[in-house]
Amino acid sequence: MAPRILLARHGQTEWSLLGRHTGRTDIPLLDEGRRGAKLLGERLHRGPWQGLPGVEVRTSPLVRASETCELAGFGDRVEPWDALMEWDYGAYEGLTPPEIKKIQPDWFIWRDGVPEGETLAQLSDRADEIVEWARSADRDVLVFAHGHILRSIGARWLGEDVSFAARVRLDPTSLSVLGWAYDAPAIERWNDTGHLEQ
């Protein structure tokens, strides 16, 4: 079996609801985010997933991701990993895109990056490290992390430049699966929030 990587974005937070760039600020989940995490867990513990026996689980150490993992029912077999932390937004941490555009009118994060934070190249290297780990053994992996790092992993899994991540959005508590088609890296499922529609 060729390894797959299942990507779970953390549940809703106050800053994600407001559109604030939430990098390394440790924001807790809202009640809505906790509910979504439980629903995601229920989904992953019934068919066709059946609790993902044998899957290797890692989470960003930031509370919004680690709590999502715990509430989804994978806390007993998870390993925190700093590589899964969100993009370090530097001077733009906590700002919304409209606020940033007052500072830099033509700003586009996937082209311009952020001042005093992590560069696009650094983000890409980190995504590559995660992809390499995911492909390193004959087992699936499940990661709980954040919107921009997960989108970057998706881009690099496909062999695209990290800027490709601009074209694939991710909602809170979404589930995505990266796998293979015709022996090439492929998207099996992306930004699936069906479990939230119950």
Name residues whose C-beta falls within 8 Å of residue 134's C-beta, 6 or more positions apart in sequence.
3, 4, 5, 141, 143, 157, 178
How many C-beta atoms lie closer than 10 Å to residue 50's C-beta? 9
The answer to whether 195 is a known catalytic residue is no
The answer to whether 86 is a known catalytic residue is yes
Q: Which of 86, 93, 118, 146 is catalytic?
A: 86
Radius of gyration of the chain (CA): 16
| Alpha-carbon span 79 to 63, nearest angstrom | 13
How many C-beta atoms lie closer than 10 Å to residue 108's C-beta? 12
Report, as residue numbers or ranges, the catalytic residues.
10, 86
